[in-house]
Amino acid sequence: MDGQADKSGAIRVRILFFGPLAERIGSREIPVSLTEGTSLQELIDRFELSEMLSSGLRVAIDGEIQHSNDATLHDSAEIAFLPPVSGG
């Protein structure tokens, strides 16, 4: 079935946005329903955040910074999009 066999159920995740990203999205926190087997990269693409990754955007799943976007999301996961911190 074109690789869709593992994407049969639905999951619900909570996405947290910080800093200017929260302003851009219009919320600090949103629940999102996804298809089981959705990858972190697919979520990044859905919110059109790929370009921001090269500018220092970090992503954490359940409090753990991800070094790869290949992770498969699970039900009740908390995904935080963390913009780069600037300071002086």
Domain ranges of the chain: 10-82
Please state the pTM of the whole predicted model.
0.83
pLDDT at 6: 53
In the chain, which residues have pLDDT < 50?
1-5
Q: What is the DSSP string of 16-73?
A: EE-THHHHHHT-SEEEEEEETT-BHHHHHHHTT-HHHHTTT-EEEETTEE-S-TTPBP
* DSSP secondary structure letter of residue 88: -
Q: How far apart are CA 24 and CA 56, in angstroms?
A: 16
What average pLDDT does the chain have?
Answer: 89
10-82 is classed in which CATH architecture?
Roll (3.10)
pLDDT at 77: 98
